[in-house]
Structure 1
Amino acid sequence: MGNLNSIIIETPVVKDGNKILCKFKCIGEVNKYFNNNTFYLEVNDIVDSVPISILNIPILANICPIAWITGSDIYIDQIDNQFLESMKKIKASFQIMYPQHTFRGEIFYQEIVSNQEYESQASGLFFSGGVDSVTSFIRKKHEFPYLLTVLGADIPESDIKACCKVENNVMQLAFEHHLVPVFLKSNLRTFLNEKKLNTNFSKFGLSNWWGSIQHGLGMVGLSAPLTYLKGINTIYFATSPGIFSVESCLDSAPWGSHPSIENNLKWGKTKTELEGMELNRFDKINIIADFLRIYDSSIKLRVCWESTSGDNCGNCEKCARTMAALLLEGLNPSELGFNTYNPSIHSLSKNKQFFSKLNDNKELQWKCIKNRISSTIYEEDFEFFHFYQWILQTEFKRQTG
């Protein structure tokens, strides 16, 4: 163990049948990037029968990028052979995306395992309730995929009230469409010192740790134990708009969800597939609108990254842009999980962060929305009338300085 920075991962322990506890020890400077030395994953199924090499995947998916960017070596007992090869490719992908950072460090293991004994005929779909995942649900529901929802990604896993709200919405949709919901509760964000990671590494195209590095690999990795139990051969992860094909992915902006990440991720008999790469956000909302015109569905969109309560705040840029796009499709946002009123319009206009979160793509979206909405007539008693007027009167341009 010659490396001054090392992460030693102990054999995972299953508690109460459904909670996987992974303890680890850090040697060297890498220790400062963790808030505690225990990673956990809790699922709504019994995982006692899952092999150690599969139980190790969730922690490895979330800890490897930290090891790589700090040049730390990882020591672990067992690792799945397909996953090991995947991580080599993903490490190289991060290096290509962020060439001014250095991704080093190796994985040292005692045993490499081939997990080929489980059935593999089902599919799974990561489902947050956002525009991307709802669109993927509509496109893939004929496969009857397991709906995989992470608790601990955008809302704290310790917030029981918010988690219950998200769970109830997902269970209602799953029941309505004869699907099985799977909840993956984890401290994947809070076991890290995300603030220090952002301070030290958010530069040279890497905007923040969660968005630029962790969220794609880290969340998909959580599903590994369930894929073994449920016989899932394909995991779908809805892509963010902006990546139009695998061939053009190298021209897309660096991001933690990317064809060179998820589409390279495999273990056992399971592979991952980014879904909806050819669609922009307007395409996706059009698909949702067409679906709602045919089905009387209980879909409630949850798009907000500002709110931690399991709701949409209605005041941030993403909420406002989604509400506006829904209006263009003749949908009432209040029936899909949004609400706005006069005071919130005032709040939107005074929100200093609103325009700081615009980029070229979002500016273009707002321009399209404004041009299209100007030809629509809303009555003054319509609940979104003042929101509509605010859009027409606002110049959506990124403010710098």
Structure 2
Amino acid sequence: MDTLKLHSITYSDNGRKINYEYSVDANIQKLFEENESFYSKYQIDVSTTPESISVIPFLSNILPMAWFAGFTIEVDEVDEDFYQAQEKIKQEFAKRDTANSFEGTLVAKKLIKNSIEKSKSAMLFSGGVDAFATYIRIYDKTPDLITLHGADITIKDKEQWTDFTDFIENEELLNENSKEFIETNLRDFYTYQVELLLKDIGWWGKVQHGLALVGSIAPLSFVNQYSSVHIASSYTDHIDIDWGSTPEIDEKITWGSGFQVFHDGYELKRQDKVDLIAKFASEKDKRFRLRVCYSEKRTEFNCSYCEKCFRTILGLILNNQNPNEYGFKVDGSVYDKIYQILHIGSGSKGVKYFWWELMEKAKNVDTFFVFDDIETETRHMDEFRGGKVDRLLEEKINNANKGTNRIKFIIRNKFPWMQKIYRKLK
């Protein structure tokens, strides 16, 4: 079986950056960027972390690749609890992807039983609807808030990252929470060939992100003495969808004799979360911005003109809340713009479900926020209640050509120069 061997773990930048030196056999070299080794960088010195813990961020990203591609990972040592956990997580993916043999495995020379002192809780925080809903649910615990640079915002995008950290640091609601930021190239160290390990592309969302995000905080958990971390759910138990972050996956992750992961809000639909946010804001008489958009075309806090923005905006409208008080910039023309964007975009089972939730919410509310023209906006709302968006997305899903999308993806990544020429000609 082909092998990836981890040779060493070193620290730089005054102990803040963990560097991983590894080699891979020729047959699997195509999965890895030749000149970009995986790293994880923190704001504090993490060099006192035992090697069996500091290896976890690396393994949390490499292990799924090994399982799906069928290669062996060799390391000197790893935390014993994490080793047992990754075997259980592997079985969760095997249940879902029955066509895959999942022969890839982890081989460690030593399994180390660590014991981390535990005194604080943490939360992975992105600033969006899911994150704020979980934050509200554990508000009294005052968790440390941890955000990764390299997950939703690319490492090269310094401007958007600065905007985001300014938002986190200056949001009044979050004043009592300590903040930790991690920079990691977890989406850049592998090539597009990893996407092709799946029948349908979508490696980050469908496989990687749950284990990768949680695993990244292992060194911090040792230094900051975290007992647990909360990660907000993206989806709900009401929908069956392939996703890389679920209670079955996330809550099996552990290390250091008892570190716990809580996958929060899985019983809540997305609209339930928006309802929770609106209720909390009203009760506390506080308004706070929701960061739901990472569009490159964004010139404001959110672009207020993408599918994700629109579903959040409409969710707030249905709670009789003004979206402009939550980081958006819209008016009564928002309804026409929603249809414009949904016509242009592609459909998916997950997106259709989110808009179905909104339709059901709309059917059950008598009042909603009106910008200026109650008659026109009521007519738009009635059309939405009647299933106009639901039918549009159903049609897009039925007409989707996944084979063509896969071919387009390969061409874009194998011949990026063609994409640049195409953009110039448009």
The TM-score range, normalised by the shorter chain, is 0.7 to 0.9
Any conservation in 1 of the 2:31–2:193 contact (CA below 8 Å)? yes
Look up the SS of the partner of 1:38 in the other structure: coil
2:203 to 200, 209, 214: 209
Calculate the aligned-residue CA RMSD, in Å. 2.6
Map 1:346-365 onto structure 2 (within 5 A). Answer: 348-351=338-341, 352-354=343-345, 356-357=347-348, 359=350, 360-365=352-357
Normalized against structure 2, the TM-score is what? 0.83
Matches of 1:23 and 1:387, distance apart in 2: 59
Q: Is the counterpart of residue 284 in structure 1 residue 273 in structure 2?
A: yes
Bigger mean CA offset, 365-374 vs 29-38: 365-374
* Cα-to-partner distance string for 1:260-309 (whole Å, 9 max, x where unaligned): 21010001131211011221112211211121113244522122354586
The match for 1:12 is: 9
* Cα-to-partner distance string for 1:36-60 (whole Å, 9 max, x where unaligned): 4511111111111111111110010
Matches of 1:308 and 1:268, distance apart in 2: 43
Matches of 1:294 and 1:139, distance apart in 2: 14
Q: How many residues align?
A: 385
The match for 1:164 is: 162
Q: Is the counterpart of residue 263 in structure 1 residue 272 in structure 2?
A: no
Any conservation in 2 of the 1:72–1:105 contact (CA below 8 Å)? yes
Matches of 2:221 and 2:344, distance apart in 1: 40
Q: What is the CA-CA distance between 1:387 and the residue it aligns to?
A: 7.6
The match for 1:58 is: 57
Matches of 1:185 and 1:313, distance apart in 2: 24
Look up the SS of the partner of 2:357 in the other structure: helix
Q: Which amino acid aligns with 2:292?
A: V
Q: Which amino acid aligns with 1:216?
A: G
Matches of 2:369 and 2:330, distance apart in 1: 18
Change (3 A) 1:374 1:290: closer
* Cα-to-partner distance string for 1:234-261 (whole Å, 9 max, x where unaligned): 11111123226xxxxxx83221011121
Q: Is the counterpart of residue 333 in structure 1 residue 323 in structure 2?
A: yes
Change (3 A) 1:11 1:218: same
Change (3 A) 1:10 1:141: farther
Q: Which amino acid aligns with 1:362?
A: F
Matches of 2:157 and 2:376, distance apart in 1: 34
1:235 to 229, 234, 250: 229
Any conservation in 2 of the 1:121–1:231 contact (CA below 8 Å)? yes
The match for 1:248 is: none
Greater helix percent: which structure? Answer: 2
Look up the SS of the partner of 1:107 in the other structure: strand
Q: Is the counterpart of residue 301 in structure 1 residue 303 in structure 2?
A: no
Matches of 1:177 and 1:262, distance apart in 2: 28
Map 1:2-401 onto structure 2 (within 5 A). Answer: 3=1, 5-16=2-13, 17-36=15-34, 37-116=36-115, 118-173=116-171, 176-193=174-191, 195-198=192-195, 200-203=196-199, 207-243=201-237, 252-269=240-257, 270-297=259-286, 299-304=288-293, 306-307=295-296, 311-340=301-330, 348-351=338-341, 352-354=343-345, 356-357=347-348, 359=350, 360-372=352-364, 375-376=367-368, 378=370, 380=372, 392-393=382-383, 395-396=388-389, 397=391, 398=393, 399=396, 400-401=398-399
Matches of 1:363 and 1:298, distance apart in 2: 24
Any conservation in 2 of the 1:147–1:174 contact (CA below 8 Å)? no
Look up the SS of the partner of 1:266 in the other structure: coil
Any conservation in 2 of the 1:212–1:255 contact (CA below 8 Å)? yes
Bigger mean CA offset, 224-233 vs 285-294: 285-294
Q: What is the CA-CA distance between 1:126 and the residue it aligns to?
A: 0.6
Matches of 1:113 and 1:61, distance apart in 2: 17
Q: What is the CA-CA distance between 1:386 and the residue it aligns to?
A: 7.7
Matches of 2:22 and 2:74, distance apart in 1: 10
Any conservation in 1 of the 2:43–2:181 contact (CA below 8 Å)? yes
Change (3 A) 1:48 1:374: same
* Cα-to-partner distance string for 1:337-358 (whole Å, 9 max, x where unaligned): 1123588766543334435245
In the alignment, structure 1 segments of 5+ residues that lack a partner are 245-250
Matches of 2:66 and 2:229, distance apart in 1: 25
* Cα-to-partner distance string for 1:211-256 (whole Å, 9 max, x where unaligned): 1000111111100000001111111111123226xxxxxx832210
Any conservation in 1 of the 2:173–2:288 contact (CA below 8 Å)? no
Look up the SS of the partner of 2:8 in the other structure: coil
Change (3 A) 1:305 1:358: farther
Look up the SS of the partner of 2:230 in the other structure: strand
Look up the SS of the partner of 1:178 in the other structure: coil
Q: What is the CA-CA distance between 1:389 and the residue it aligns to?
A: 6.0
* Cα-to-partner distance string for 1:180-203 (whole Å, 9 max, x where unaligned): 01111110001121x3222x2332
